[in-house]
Amino acid sequence: MSDRKVYTDYFFDEPAFNTHDGGYVPLKEPTTPQEALRIPKLLKPNKETDTDMYYTVIAQTGETQLLPGAKTKTWGYNTSLLGQTIVFKNGKTIHITLKNELPELTTFHWHGLNVDGPITDGGCHAPVYPGKSTQIEFKCHQPAATLWLHAHPCPATAEHVWKGLADGVIVKDDVESKLPFPRNYGVDDIPLILQDRAFHDNQFDYIADYDPDGVQGPTPMINGTINPYFDVTTQRLRLRILDGANRREWRLHFSDDLKFTQIASDGGILPEPVDFTHLMITCAERAEIIVDFGKYKPGDEVTLYSDDVPIVRFRIHEFAKDDTKLPDHLVDIPDPQVTPNSQVHKVVMSGMDEMVEINGKKFDMQRIDDKQKLGNVEYWDISNTNDRDTGMIHPYHMHGTQFRVVSRNGHDPYPNERGLKDTIGVNPGETVRIKVWFEHLGVYMYHCHIIEHEDGGMMAQFEVYDPDRPKTYKLMDMDTLMTAFAKERGVKKDELYIPGMDM
């Protein structure tokens, strides 16, 4: 038995849990028959060599059997809902053709991937129009991690994700491959994309469910499966958990308070494994955990809950005994020294509902709000001014980097925040200091990842620059996007309604 401490609480400030929000939609256990958990297929490369990988990623419409009766109209990447898992290998040059077969423009944002901005990064400055395609190319240069792809067409990001445009991405490297982790994808290495949905005659209706503090639904949807079970055929199971919800936090625990071990966060493997019985993740965060079912026998069932609602049932079958132990140290994490005399950047997230802002301003696609020199290592202080008793936890996401969490209100970060991160939940009244550096030039966004908040203006953008290589960028403007959306939706521009567009 390991003598590591086992953490039994959720860490975040309980008064700010979304369960206390006036618009909270509680999860309900589905009454439909249990279904086998859908495991996304691996997207097959068009071609792979020793140095390069080639993919085609298609945003497309489809229909998915989510509930008994009529199929649900959905969107997905290379499939009808969510996507086929994309694998990148560290050190290889990646070539991707991005195709849009949707009825309207979208973008392809590589959440957590360290690439050039703004076009390769795929934020709102990189629209791909219906019936069109574009190509991106980049060198994959980051450690093994669970990342994700999602649409990011301001201010329709939330609606596109709600319709299904969210996909898992796995980066592999030689360091992770030598660690004693399960990695047989689909058998003992399983993605869990956690989302929630509301249904209207078996269909999604984003406008009907709209809430400026984040759209929620009462039905948990895991990997696009309602009421899923998974057949456990190995003693140890690796779960790659992604909070892919628009708004919902997930407070996770197993029946019997079964212990599990977190081995990775957003940007890759943690320096040391961390043992939990309860784990909370906020929107867009990832957590890789290993669960050991050694004390169970065939026929047993172990349930994963969020709060008190079952979201996945694990059905235990025969498995071979596995005595594999994790080392106390997993990987070394880069921790560069802060550049002397560099500024401390201030990011203040304020407001709720339609009043959300960053540093007292709504997002402007043409405005650069901050700058950091390429090669510098600098502190960013991320504050949440919401009231501690009535406010919300705002998950802060930064494009184009994986950062180190330095402190929370001057104290140590949570024990599973010592690895690389791209998203961090910030409690009301709290300031989280992060240490940030970049490998690429570009214009990038930073924002709250409650997706309706970013669509509503809790977003800003910064430039990573090199004074020896000055660059200018042609930034997309909101009028061009709105004109395109109106044309594609068949309405006059003054009749177009996208929640958040009046930010």
Residue 378, C-beta contacts closer than 8 angstroms, at least 6 positions apart: 338, 339, 342, 343, 344, 345, 372, 435, 436, 437
Q: Which single residue is written with the structure tokens 């080639």?
A: 54
In degrees, to the nearest 5, what angle opens at C-alpha 499 toward C-alphas 496 and 503? 100
Q: Is 240 helix (H, G, I), strand (E, B) or coil?
A: strand
Tokens read off for 58: 């298609």
The answer to whether 451 touches 211, Cβ cutoff 8 Å, is no
Dihedral sign of CA atoms 305, 247, 437, 177 in order: positive
The HSE-up count of residue 189 (CA atoms within 13 Å, CB side) is 15
Q: What is the pLDDT of residue 503?
A: 58
Between the two ends of the chain, the Cα-to-Cα distance in Å is 54
Q: What is the pLDDT of residue 89?
A: 98
d(CA 209, CA 110): 27
Tokens read off for 71: 């199929």
Q: What is the pLDDT of residue 1?
A: 45
d(CA 86, CA 496): 34
Q: What is the pLDDT of residue 500?
A: 78
Domain covering 345-475, topology: Immunoglobulin-like (2.60.40)
* Domain 12-172 CATH class label: mainly beta
Nearest to 187 by CA among 229, 234, 146, 227: 234
Nearest to 463 by CA among 348, 360, 339, 376: 376
Per DSSP (E only), the strands in 215-285 are 219-222, 225-226, 228-232, 236-243, 250-254, 260-265, 268-276, 278-281
d(CA 441, CA 429): 33
DSSP assignment string, 403-427: EEEEEETTBPPPTT-SSEESEEEE-
Q: What is the pLDDT of residue 450?
A: 97
Nearest to 190 by CA among 124, 245, 142, 234: 234
The CATH code for residues 189-316 is 2.60.40.420
Q: What is the pLDDT along the chain (503 residues), one digit of tens a residue?
A: 458 999 999 999 999 999 998 899 999 999 999 999 999 999 999 999 999 999 999 999 999 999 999 999 999 999 999 999 999 999 999 999 999 999 999 999 999 999 999 999 999 999 999 999 999 999 999 999 999 999 999 999 999 999 999 999 999 999 999 999 999 999 999 999 999 999 999 999 999 999 999 999 999 999 999 999 999 999 999 999 999 999 999 999 999 999 999 999 999 999 999 999 999 999 999 999 999 999 999 999 999 999 999 999 999 999 999 999 999 999 999 999 999 999 999 999 999 999 999 999 999 999 999 999 999 999 999 999 999 888 999 999 999 999 999 999 999 999 999 999 999 999 999 999 999 999 999 999 999 999 999 999 999 999 999 999 999 999 999 999 999 999 999 999 999 999 877 65
Check if 12-172 and 189-316 are the same fold: yes
Nearest to 439 by CA among 176, 175, 142, 147: 142
Q: Which single residue is written with the structure tokens 């456990």?
A: 232
d(CA 126, CA 139): 19
Q: Which residues pair with 35 in a beta bridge?
A: 228
In order of 178, 208, 282, the CA distances from 174 in angstroms are 7, 47, 29
Q: What is the pLDDT of residue 372?
A: 98
Which helix (DSSP H) or strand (DSSP E) does residue 377 occupy?
none
Helical H runs in 134-179? Answer: 157-163
* Domain range list for the chain: 12-172, 189-316, 345-475
Nearest to 425 by CA among 169, 213, 248: 248
Q: What is the pLDDT of residue 276?
A: 98
Longest CA pairwise span in the chain (Å): 66
Residue 153, C-beta contacts closer than 8 angstroms, at least 6 positions apart: 105, 106, 107, 124, 127, 160, 481
